[in-house]
């Protein structure tokens, strides 16, 4: 299961906080796949067979700080362990366009990750952190991550959205260690 974190609604569509949604949208666009509203769970989902795996793509529709609720429901429904989960998330501490893969770790102050850790009871799941920083000095984090990318950041963001598909391929085919050694 590949989870992209973000907030539902068109007001948030291109905000820094929604880069996880944007990454899954880019992947789906390249694969000519469409997300559908899931009627039983609060998410938009898609399935695709790629890289030798049946992949479930999930965009929780619970708002960021309740992402864990949707992730937990899908893990139960699909009988997945945390080793089967990859979460794509924004990181305001990484420079815009940078990607970092981690096999586990703390939420680092990210409310979406906190929610998932709380819901699944562990921090042992792969996360792909996509840089959306640096935050201007003195600007509140919540205001920054809910702002849109600047015009001069768009090229870096587009490159990162394309590159994250390569990162996901390496994670799925070869494991997170290989992805970390190539992309971190």
Which amino acids are annotated catalytic?
17
Phi, psi values for residue 137, rounded to 5°: -55, 130
Contact indicator for 107, 114 with CB cutoff of 8 Å = yes
CA 65, CA 63: separation in Å to the nearest integer? 6
Give the full edge-to-edge strand order of the sheet including 43-50. Answer: 36-38, 43-50, 53-60, 2-4, 86-95, 126-133, 99-102
Q: Give Cα separations from 15 to 37, 137, 172, 177 (angstroms).
A: 21, 19, 27, 30
Report, in angstroms and rounded to the nearest whole number, the Rg of the chain calculated over CA atoms.
15
Minimal CA–CA distance to 64: which of 110, 123, 122, 106?
Answer: 110
């Amino acid at each position: 299961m590949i989870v992209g974190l973000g907030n539902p609604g068109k007001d948030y569509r291109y905000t820094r906080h929604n880069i996880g949604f944007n990454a899954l949208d880019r992947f789906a666009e390249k694969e000519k796949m469409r997300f559908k509203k899931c009627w039983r769970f609060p998410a938009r989902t898609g399935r695709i067979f790629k890289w030798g795996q049946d992949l479930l793509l999930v965009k929780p529709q619970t708002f960021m700080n309740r992402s864990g609720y949707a992730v937990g429901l899908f893990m139960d429904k699909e009988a997945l362990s945390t080793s089967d989960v990859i979460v794509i998330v924004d990181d305001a501490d990484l420079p815009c366009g940078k990607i970092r893969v981690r096999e586990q770790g703390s939420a680092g102050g990210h409310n979406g990750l906190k929610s998932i850790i709380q819901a699944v009871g562990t921090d042992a799941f792969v996360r792909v952190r996509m840089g959306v920083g640096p935050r201007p000095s003195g600007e509140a984090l919540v205001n920054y991550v809910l702002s849109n990318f600047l015009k001069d950041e768009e090229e870096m963001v587009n490159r990162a959205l394309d590159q994250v598909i390569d990162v996901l391929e390496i994670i799925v085919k070869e494991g997170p260690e290989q992805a970390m050694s190539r992309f971190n």
